[in-house]
Structure 1
Amino acid sequence: MAETLPSILLVDDEVHSLNAMRMALEDDFECLTALNADEATRLMEENFVQVIFCDQRMPGRSGVEFLKEVRDRWPETVRIIITGYTETSDMIAAINEAGIYQFLTKPWHPDHLVMSAKNAADLFRLNRDHERMSLEMRYLSRNVETKLEEQRKALREGLGFENVLRSPNSPMNAVIAQARQFASFDVPVMIIGAPGTGKTALARAIHYSSLRSDRPFHEINCTGVDDEILEIELFGARRGALHGQQGHKPGLLQKADRGTLFINGIAELSPRMQLALLRVATEGRFRPLGSHEEFRTDVRLLTGSSRDLRAEVAANRYRSDLYYALARATLVVPPLSERRSDIAILAQSLLFDAASAHGKPVHGLSEDAVQFLENHDWPGNLRELENEVMRMLIFSQDSVLGPELISRHILQAAPGREEGVDPSTDRVLTGSGTLKDRVEWIETRILRETLTRLKWNKSRAAAELGLSRVGLRAKIERYGIAEPGKASQPEED
């Protein structure tokens, strides 16, 4: 890559002086010119300027007034003032107010001008190198005890694979076994699974089980995010690149340097962002918004996708080089409908977390409530389960949460239904079978949901359904609906 020339801003209200400075410097520098302070400010906002040569006496704001603003907004830029006057008071004011690096008097010699410019550019570079080295020294100064304490803290908070809850016979066990193997190899991993299946928790567990566990972990979900915002969040923005920005905005690639970055929703990237991320994935290079220089990053990329991208690659709808760079290893996370044995553990954990966060003590879920939760397909996966548990906690009056708190559409699913039976009411309405069988199937669901929600108070259930207690008991016996945990129903409530 060709080395870019340092940028210099030349400010003078005399056109011939401006042209003379540009002709002397343009072989060694990228020269920007302005005839007044306002035009110079606009150029500073739009460009990455290392050195400024500014005339002192100009219409409007003087050179000192302009360079004082530069010192406040762009303190890294080296400031040199050119004047035809040598009043001591002006020089002292300029040094104190604007932080002037050097004075040049008119008329100046071209060789002297070029030497001053090169020295100023070297000073800019040295200052930046010093800043970078200071940051590295502060980072390296952290002692071993601090690192060990961070690892202990991560372990206490359960950020490893112990945080991925599952039962002894869970389908997740095979996924976790693979993930443990991938964690010890510093390669990109693509995690594939429907929204809400826990891809972020799995990515975090991989990081805290890897050799980068004492380095930062950051995450971002790029689904539905505009390219401009996503570019700033990932790559950052240099000072002056954004309106109202006071300083450099670091991106996640800088924040996660030597650590791990999890990018979820990778399938939704636009072609432009795919190309930008390809440079990071293959070369470890990126360029912040508004910057004229490239940065390097040593970051491990973990990515999440809601669908398998191989079909997208085959159809030329996704860059194959990016896919293969990010999918050096792949993990497929099963949906919650395939993890019924995990639902009890997950629901109880989510309940205790929510109860602790909201200060409402509970003892757990009843067996009947767990049975109903296990019979639901959970198309929204863990997010839907978390919402349902929170709803139960909000309406609970007892320390043990029973099935009467569960949403009606979940209660209507038959406990212990056979595998492969479609619970969809729409499918029953439009499917095959006699009218009598289909009506009875729906009626059974309504009866079971009402009785469960009303804690099997048959008097209240009969009143709500517009039935007599005798008629309700007859339907219960006819459809074989049994109260969970009881062999027979009492004659009276």
Structure 2
Amino acid sequence: MAETLPTILLVDDEAHSLSAMRMALEDDFDILTASGAEEAAALMEEHFVQVIFCDQRMPGRSGVEFLCEVRDRWPDTVRIIITGYTETSDMIAAINDAGIYQFLTKPWHPDQLLMVAKNAADLFTLSREHDRMSLEMRYLSRSVESKIEAQRKVLREGLGFEKVLRAPNSPLNAVIEQARQFASFDVPVLISGEAGTGKSAIARAMHYSSLRSDKPYFELNCTSTDDDLLEIELFGAKRGALQGVQTNKVGLLQKADRGTLYVGAISDLSPRLQLALMRFATTGSFRPLGAHEAQRSDVRLITGSNVDLREAVTAGRFRADLYYAIGQITLGVPPLRERLGDLPLLAQSLLFDAASAHGKPVQGLSDDALEFLETYDWPGNLRELGNEMVRMLIFSQDPILGPELISRHILQASPNPDGPAPAVDAVLTGSGSLKDRVEHIEMRILRETLTRLKWNKSRAAAELGLSRVGLRAKIDRYGIAEPGRSARPVEED
């Protein structure tokens, strides 16, 4: 017998929005659609609906008003509102009143919509399972029920693996599946990967998917931090142990007792702190600065490293005993250049986060902009991408952000079907004839200038010190094509 798909009700007065949502979800769900609150209520009477996506602005009753009715009549149905950024601050109270699970801002990405829908369906199933188990275990220990409730709380707050954004076919999926398996085993985990690849997000998700999820979680980054400050932050200090420490300082190892501590950039620890951390990792005890007696703490250590710790051990820069104590389980996170299929989803999400934080509403990135972003190798990974989104947001004047806003060094990355293009420095110091290397750089400069000036050839020629005829000849020579040229006229002046 075929498995029954969860049923989702889509409510929007705009037919094209309903069609777009149906296309994104219909492979994984049974879809019902309604153009207003009254039609939606009638469908709820006739069908077993697990999840509702409802637009806020509709004729008659608003989305929140309708979902308040759904909360009262069908409380188990997971409710999601779709709204615009300009309404976010005003919506918070209304969303709380309606008991809404989550709100989506326009424009949403299909992968984002699908991820939210799957999480909502999982929440519905989990809620039903919780109700069933509560009846069966009525006379059992209340601690079991509290753990189930803690898991529901984590899912609602979105602190698990669903917060690690990725495309359905992302290379990161295999890493996440491994992390899910390791999460429930109470052993140390070492997460390796370049700076800015999202190691701390995976560590946080592992904690909130573990048996320690209802206990404290803390993070400590060791990058470029003073040794004495790191020691106090990690182990704590007794009053008077150092000048300026006038009270007892509780360290993270004590604060995270029975929980999880993520220590990032662990390779930056000094030999002295490596020894101290090794003693804790192997015995569970530590001594605060200035203390005479050791203390014990039950902490799960998850560590992150931007370098290969095996090589660091071989080179004598990292203690072998500490490496084997923290690296019982290892995970490798790929850099952004190896998961460029995730870039559209990541870039749009980071842009919307920046727009919300700075109060400047936008509708997203153009396809041309995304094409340029996908030709760059992103040595700074997610941090660099986030910085670029903030920069583009600041300079934007239109709701759709185009490629002319992208930083010049990214625009100069030439198209390469086999992956991101090499950096300019690599071209300058690489192999090949002088003529070929000069032409490669010239092509990049031409492409960047034309894009930044929105293909205004008169301005581009003037900036580059070329005639219009000379510019046209170079465009033809290098085969530089204007994105979407057939869809819009070329601006000449």
TM-score (norm 2): 0.67
Partner of 2:401: 401
Q: Does 1:478 align with 2:480?
A: no
Partner of 2:165: 165
CA distance in 2, matches of 1:375, 1:437: 20
Q: Does 1:385 align with 2:385?
A: yes
**Structure 1 residue 430 displacement after superposition:** 4.1
SS in 2 for 1:393: helix
Partner of 1:255: 255
Count of aligned residue pairs for this structure pair: 351
**Structure 1 residue 434 displacement after superposition:** 4.1
Partner of 2:110: none
CA distance in 2, matches of 1:384, 1:491: 32
CA distance in 2, matches of 1:226, 1:318: 18
Cα deviations across residues 20-52 of structure 1 (Å, max 9, x unaligned)? xxxxxxxxxxxxxxxxxxxxxxxxxxxxxxxxx
**Structure 1 residue 427 displacement after superposition:** 3.7
**Structure 1 residue 492 displacement after superposition:** 6.0
Which residue type is aligned with residue 402 of structure 1? G
Q: Does 1:208 align with 2:223?
A: no
Partner of 2:355: 355
CA gap 1:218/1:484 in 2 versus in 1, 3 angstroms = same
CA gap 1:471/1:317 in 2 versus in 1, 3 angstroms = closer
**Structure 1 residue 152 displacement after superposition:** 4.8
CA gap 1:146/1:462 in 2 versus in 1, 3 angstroms = farther
CA gap 1:176/1:488 in 2 versus in 1, 3 angstroms = closer
Contact residue 237 and residue 291 of structure 1 kept, 8 A: yes
CA distance in 1, matches of 2:430, 2:322: 45
CA distance in 1, matches of 2:234, 2:398: 47
**Structure 1 residue 244 displacement after superposition:** 4.6
Contact residue 347 and residue 389 of structure 1 kept, 8 A: yes
Partner of 2:428: 429
Q: Does 1:281 align with 2:296?
A: no
Cα deviations across residues 91-110 of structure 1 (Å, max 9, x unaligned)? xxxxxxxxxxxxxxxxxxxx
CA distance in 1, matches of 2:301, 2:309: 17
**Structure 1 residue 314 displacement after superposition:** 3.2
Cα deviations across residues 192-239 of structure 1 (Å, max 9, x unaligned)? 111111111110011011011111110101122233211111111123
Partner of 1:451: 450
CA distance in 2, matches of 1:359, 1:489: 31
CA distance in 2, matches of 1:345, 1:243: 49
Which residue type is aligned with residue 464 of structure 1? E
Which residue type is aligned with residue 290 of structure 1? G
CA gap 1:205/1:421 in 2 versus in 1, 3 angstroms = closer
TM-score (norm 1): 0.67
Cα deviations across residues 66-121 of structure 1 (Å, max 9, x unaligned)? xxxxxxxxxxxxxxxxxxxxxxxxxxxxxxxxxxxxxxxxxxxxxxxxxxxxxxxx
Contact residue 376 and residue 421 of structure 2 kept, 8 A: no
CA distance in 1, matches of 2:479, 2:445: 14
CA distance in 2, matches of 1:267, 1:405: 37
**Structure 1 residue 469 displacement after superposition:** 2.6
**Structure 1 residue 459 displacement after superposition:** 2.0
Contact residue 188 and residue 300 of structure 1 kept, 8 A: yes
Contact residue 237 and residue 289 of structure 2 kept, 8 A: yes
Cα deviations across residues 351-385 of structure 1 (Å, max 9, x unaligned)? 00010000000111111111111110011111111
Query: Where do 1:4-403 residues align within 5 Å?
Result: 152-403=152-403
Q: Which range is displaced more, 220-229 or 385-394?
A: 220-229
CA gap 1:484/1:157 in 2 versus in 1, 3 angstroms = farther
CA distance in 2, matches of 1:237, 1:412: 51
CA distance in 2, matches of 1:244, 1:172: 45
**Structure 1 residue 149 displacement after superposition:** 7.0
Which ranges in structure 1 are unaligned for 5 or more consecutive residues?
1-141
Contact residue 348 and residue 365 of structure 1 kept, 8 A: yes
Which residue type is aligned with residue 300 of structure 1? R
Contact residue 193 and residue 305 of structure 2 kept, 8 A: yes
**Structure 1 residue 315 displacement after superposition:** 4.0
Q: Which range is displaced more, 285-294 or 461-470?
A: 461-470
CA distance in 2, matches of 1:377, 1:421: 5
Provide the identity percentage. Answer: 73
Contact residue 482 and residue 489 of structure 1 kept, 8 A: no
CA distance in 2, matches of 1:364, 1:244: 49
**Structure 1 residue 145 displacement after superposition:** 9.1
CA distance in 1, matches of 2:446, 2:244: 62
CA distance in 1, matches of 2:389, 2:272: 41
**Greater radius of gyration (CA):** 1
CA distance in 2, matches of 1:223, 1:428: 31
**Structure 1 residue 294 displacement after superposition:** 1.7
**Structure 1 residue 398 displacement after superposition:** 0.5
SS in 2 for 1:472: helix
Cα deviations across residues 447-478 of structure 1 (Å, max 9, x unaligned)? 11111101112222122222233332232222
Partner of 1:118: none
Cα RMSD for the two superposed structures: 2.4
Cα deviations across residues 226-257 of structure 1 (Å, max 9, x unaligned)? 33211111111123334454432110011101
Cα deviations across residues 367-408 of structure 1 (Å, max 9, x unaligned)? 111111111001111111111111101100011110000011
Contact residue 482 and residue 488 of structure 1 kept, 8 A: no
Cα deviations across residues 6-27 of structure 1 (Å, max 9, x unaligned)? xxxxxxxxxxxxxxxxxxxxxx
**Structure 1 residue 440 displacement after superposition:** 2.5
Contact residue 483 and residue 489 of structure 1 kept, 8 A: no
CA gap 1:251/1:434 in 2 versus in 1, 3 angstroms = closer
CA distance in 2, matches of 1:280, 1:430: 47
Contact residue 355 and residue 393 of structure 1 kept, 8 A: yes
